[in-house]
Structure 1
Amino acid sequence: MNNINILWVDDEIDLLKPHILFLEKKNYNVTTCKSGTEAIEALESSTFDIVFLDENMPGLTGLETLNEIKAINNALPVVMITKSEEEYIMEEAIGNKIADYLIKPVNPNQILLSLKKNLDHSRLVSEKTTSNYQQEFRKIAMDLTMVNSYEEWANLYQKLIYWELQLEDIEDIGMFEILESQKNEANIQFGKFIDKNYPNWFDGNVDSPVMSHTLFREKIVPEISKEQPTLLIVVDNLRYDQWKAFEPVLNNYYKKEQESPYYSILPSATQYARNAIFSGLMPADMEKLHPDLWKNDTDEGGKNLHENDFLKAQLKRLGLTNIKHEYHKITSLKSGKKLADNFKSQKDNDLTVVVYNFVDMLSHSKTEMDVVKELAANDKAYRSLTLSWFKNSPLLEIIQQAQQLGFKLIITTDHGTINVKNPSKVIGDKDTSLNLRYKTGRSLTYEDKDVLVAKNPKTIHLPSITMSSSFIFAKSDLFFAYPNNYNHYVSYYRNTYQHGGVSLEEMIIPFITMSPK
């Protein structure tokens, strides 16, 4: 690092001699000033690449000096250093586009990190985002210790996604690692919250979130009318961050009326959660009321072949037999194109339902195909791949046509998915289900700390395959692995996208209503 000129302004600059020597050994040129007035004179006579500015100085304060600096050179990065954590000082400094915000006492490595962060090629993009996230980091950390309701968890998760999307274009590995650690901590706490509260959500006397089995009745039915056709799109396996990635594309055709996250039931897996949406029932009730339509994990055959039958039964139960509806499941490019080509035929329906399976296919192909593993190596790449698909998909063509025909649009999903990183050993008999994020069967042996367990599935309205069957759900980013052939199994499934367990990514999912522009 050559010819980088630093101006360091602090009325106690003599106490910072070790920091200055440290920087000079790293080949930075450091000029020091003891007041804001001196700093302004130095800036008028010399050129600097960055300023370290003490906030609390006699004479011109740090904030006043900051205003003067910006008047001389608005693009010059200024790092505010302060003893105070008062919110108004942070807000004012950030409003003046400071490059960074450090709390005393600072150590030399913090200064060095700030220099590297602010003097690289993406400085102009990163300065506002990083300083805002640094400010927000403390608030999120505090929220994590206090969050105690399903609404607060949904808000916190949306906040984490917001910052993930803000930070994804900034080449700041340190910042991203901090965010990742916050997400991991959030998932640990969320697992405890679900463990404690989930069974109570089925008690009619307890405040509970909208969930898979109540979504249609509570959220979709109020949107259906005879005056305007409604298009309901259920994109399988769609995480909240993936929705946020392609939302801007949709904004060209539709304006958002409502966005409200809801909770997937457990297991957060297609055969349970999506059947629950269309039936309006929990799995135990589906098995009881529709034994001809419901299949358990160990039964042969497809588990989601009767969604339209479930939907018809729910419409009848809700007294909505006058609703004219059609149901379409898209599992290939060919079937998507066919619906897009013939979408005008849907205009006389009150409700057109489209289940779109692309994201589910993508997550499974990531497990099985090396090329997709390369393309979706992490969450950022996974979002990017989803966006690229959406922009070029028949689904977008269908939505464009729906807008032209005046359809109201509802977009939602059945559950999300999580990138699994760490194995958790489990032992079961030959009849144990195969899913990597949940297991059901008899005599399951598992690591207690890694799972949410339902020894009696009826307490969470799940069917019991045998009298002694239980369910276990993996928490955080864990996946279940059997001891035999363990190493091969772990290396094959690590860093793949799975669902069925307990995590923010799988359980807190988007529900959006939009009206045509």
Structure 2
Amino acid sequence: MNTINGEILWVDDEIESLKSQILFLKNKGYMVEAVSNGYDALELIPKKHFDVVLLDESMPGMTGLEVLQKIKAEWPLLPVVMVTKNEAENIMEEAIGAQISDYLIKPVNPNQVLLSLKKIMEGKRLVSEKTTSNYQQEFRNLFMALNDRPNHEEWRELYRKLVFWELEMTKSGSTEMMEVLQSQKSEANTEFFKYVSKNYADWISGKSEAPLLSHKVFKEKVAPSLKAGTPTFLVVIDNFRYDQWKAIQPLLSQYFQLEEEDTFYSILPTATQYCRNALFAGLLPVDIEKQFPNEWKNDEDEGGKNLYEDVFLEAQLKRLRLDSLKMQYVKITNNEHAKALEDNIHNYLRNDLTVIVYNFVDMLSHARTEMEVLKELAGDEASYRSLTLSWFEHSPLFGALRKIADKDIQLLITTDHGTQKVRTPSKVIGDRATTTNLRYKHGRNLQYEDRDVLAFRDPKLAGLPRPNVSSTFIFAKEDVFLCYPNNYNHYVNYYRNTFQHGGISLEEMIVPVVKLRSK
């Protein structure tokens, strides 16, 4: 029995002249029904299942465009290929605007029609097969790179490739190869944890060459771009991973030209009060505490931990001798602030530098306690990216950026740290002063599983303040989350498969910093 590749409805007033084409398609495994006018086509469509309609544009009685409008009104998901002698631009634009799947100019040869049908009906399968084949060839290269003791630059490139393949696999829908990729990503995080554990203290002390870290990002990536008279917008999106940047990049590329895409290493702990303060101060947390004893807050201190970012930034600008530039700092923590930003964005064009801190995760989940909502909406990395894309596309932030896209501006987008989906619980015992974070903790007399964490008994070795004389910092590896023994099972079930930050993983530590310009 021959396999049927698809059922086609071909609508053309000169259908008799297409017999050889129809025979060619039938020999290729397609069932073809032919009619000579739009009325017969509209009568036939609800009675039979068709995969694609081949529609002539120029027909007496009812034109192809009129038939197309009626098809899209009644059966919007039915693919239509417009076939026409008319190359007039307005005809093409009207057909494309009505969401045709393809456009063929007469005379068409049989292979053109076949290619169009394959693209529409078998495109996803063909893409999936090609993606799978390409990844299988790349798999060995990635495996060898993982086992070749990569340095910090090679780790960034390796992570970039893993994200590339994850996005490709998501598009192609290849579930089997996605499982292989996830396994490879997990292995990469295991090796990355070992690498960071071995080298982090030396990076902080300067004993070995360090990657670009949070506290150097402004000086290295932002400051060189600043100049009086050219408005620069620095957008810092909270909890923004590299794969989330790749998800929104196509939207921004419609309005801005990408000049540079880079990544940097977020400092430990990969938490806002440490990373973002370091970004704006241009200092490690231990040095921020020394220079700003009244503004720096440790985890257990009362009050907000990121209330002085503008103060830190002004001090850094002064150190860099950029304090003559007109700078404005804007913090977005709710939708009212976001709408005000969109409404007033043109006012910021008077500044040399406008810094916009956008609390992205807070905006998504409305409150951190509503974790179940985010958990359902973002069950895995692909849906988390999809949620990011949907949020950004409809956000006042994107609306604001679109409003100034036609001005001569520079746009830099970065973050404080990423997030990791946690799956593996690990028990920690501490006293009342122990912090409650799931991916890192500090306190006195901590008891923990050595294999699950990187520990610093002297926080200064990690560039961190020492809240108490005997404070120890611990950072969770890979997808581990740290739980107390009390009510253990409840908290394990509550937090498992949620996105957390503060620990050591590729997703949390290697994060984007990108530079764009108006087109």
Q: In the aligned structure 2, how far is the partner of 1:233 from the partner of 1:454?
A: 32
Matched, 1:439 2:444: no
Q: In the aligned structure 1, how far is the partner of 2:388 from the partner of 2:141?
A: 31
Question: Which of 129, 138, 141 does residue 139 from structure 1 map onto?
Answer: 141
CA 1:75–1:283 in structure 2 vs 1: closer, same or farther (change >3 Å)? Answer: farther
Secondary structure at the counterpart of residue 179 of structure 1:
helix
Q: In the aligned structure 1, how far is the partner of 2:113 from the partner of 2:445?
A: 65
Matched, 1:314 2:306: no
Deviations 1:53-112 (A, max 9, x none): xxxxxxxxxxxxxxxxxxx99999xxxxxxxxxxxxxxxxxxxxxxxxxxxxxxxxxxxx
The answer for the alignment partner of 2:96 in structure 1 is none
**Is the 2:334–2:363 Cα contact (8 Å) retained in structure 1?**
no
- In structure 2, runs of 5+ residues without a counterpart are 5-26, 31-109, 115-120
Cα deviation, residue 340, structure 1: 1.2
The answer for the alignment partner of 1:298 in structure 2 is 300
TM-score (norm 1): 0.77
Q: In the aligned structure 2, how far is the partner of 1:139 from the partner of 1:367?
A: 42
Cα deviation, residue 499, structure 1: 0.2
The answer for the alignment partner of 2:494 in structure 1 is 492
**Is the 1:229–1:350 Cα contact (8 Å) retained in structure 2?**
yes
The alignment yields a C-alpha RMSD, in angstroms, of 2.8
Secondary structure at the counterpart of residue 421 of structure 2:
strand
CA 1:252–1:427 in structure 2 vs 1: closer, same or farther (change >3 Å)? Answer: same
**Is the 2:259–2:517 Cα contact (8 Å) retained in structure 1?**
yes
CA 1:395–1:165 in structure 2 vs 1: closer, same or farther (change >3 Å)? Answer: same
Cα deviation, residue 373, structure 1: 2.2
Q: In the aligned structure 2, how far is the partner of 1:515 from the partner of 1:404?
A: 10
CA 1:439–1:3 in structure 2 vs 1: closer, same or farther (change >3 Å)? Answer: farther
Q: In the aligned structure 2, how far is the partner of 1:500 from the partner of 1:75?
A: 54
Q: In the aligned structure 2, how far is the partner of 1:367 from the partner of 1:478?
A: 20
Cα deviation, residue 436, structure 1: 0.3
The answer for the alignment partner of 1:330 in structure 2 is 332
**Is the 1:214–1:277 Cα contact (8 Å) retained in structure 2?**
yes
Secondary structure at the counterpart of residue 511 of structure 1:
strand
Cα deviation, residue 474, structure 1: 0.2
The answer for the alignment partner of 2:265 in structure 1 is 263
Question: Which of 130, 144, 153 does residue 155 from structure 2 map onto?
Answer: 153
The answer for the alignment partner of 1:399 in structure 2 is 401
Deviations 1:144-195 (A, max 9, x none): 1014211000000000000000010333221110011011000000000000
Q: In the aligned structure 2, how far is the partner of 1:368 from the partner of 1:299?
A: 24
Q: In the aligned structure 1, how far is the partner of 2:160 from the partner of 2:475?
A: 23
Deviations 1:400-422 (A, max 9, x none): 12322321000000000011011
Matches within 5 A, 1:333-344: 333-344=335-346
The answer for the alignment partner of 2:64 in structure 1 is none
Q: Give the aligned residue type for 1:432.
A: T
Q: In the aligned structure 2, how far is the partner of 1:136 from the partner of 1:367?
A: 41
**Is the 2:418–2:501 Cα contact (8 Å) retained in structure 1?**
yes
Q: Give the aligned residue type for 2:511.
A: I
TM-score (norm 2): 0.76
The answer for the alignment partner of 1:206 in structure 2 is 208
The answer for the alignment partner of 1:382 in structure 2 is 384
Aligned residues between the structures: 419
* Further displaced range: 170-179 or 427-436: 170-179
Secondary structure at the counterpart of residue 510 of structure 1:
strand
CA 1:367–1:182 in structure 2 vs 1: closer, same or farther (change >3 Å)? Answer: farther
Q: In the aligned structure 2, how far is the partner of 1:440 from the partner of 1:402?
A: 44
Q: In the aligned structure 1, how far is the partner of 2:343 from the partner of 2:209?
A: 44
- In structure 1, runs of 5+ residues without a counterpart are 6-45, 50-71, 77-118
Secondary structure at the counterpart of residue 310 of structure 1:
helix
**Is the 2:333–2:362 Cα contact (8 Å) retained in structure 1?**
no
Secondary structure at the counterpart of residue 172 of structure 2:
coil
Q: Give the aligned residue type for 1:258.
A: E
Cα deviation, residue 130, structure 1: 1.1
Q: Give the aligned residue type for 2:316.
A: Q
Matches within 5 A, 1:210-221: 210-221=212-223
Q: In the aligned structure 2, how far is the partner of 1:458 from the partner of 1:322?
A: 34
Cα deviation, residue 312, structure 1: 1.0
Secondary structure at the counterpart of residue 412 of structure 1:
strand
The answer for the alignment partner of 2:510 in structure 1 is 508
**Is the 1:279–1:311 Cα contact (8 Å) retained in structure 2?**
yes
Q: In the aligned structure 2, how far is the partner of 1:455 from the partner of 1:363?
A: 35
Deviations 1:286-310 (A, max 9, x none): 1111011100011011101110011
The answer for the alignment partner of 2:19 in structure 1 is none
- Work out the percentage of aligned pairs sharing the same amino acid: 55
**Is the 1:367–1:496 Cα contact (8 Å) retained in structure 2?**
no
* Further displaced range: 204-213 or 386-395: 204-213
Deviations 1:122-154 (A, max 9, x none): 422212111111111111111110142110000
Secondary structure at the counterpart of residue 425 of structure 1:
strand
Deviations 1:247-278 (A, max 9, x none): 00000111111111001000000000000001
The answer for the alignment partner of 1:412 in structure 2 is 414
**Is the 1:326–1:353 Cα contact (8 Å) retained in structure 2?**
yes
Cα deviation, residue 318, structure 1: 1.9
**Is the 2:364–2:391 Cα contact (8 Å) retained in structure 1?**
no
Cα deviation, residue 399, structure 1: 1.1
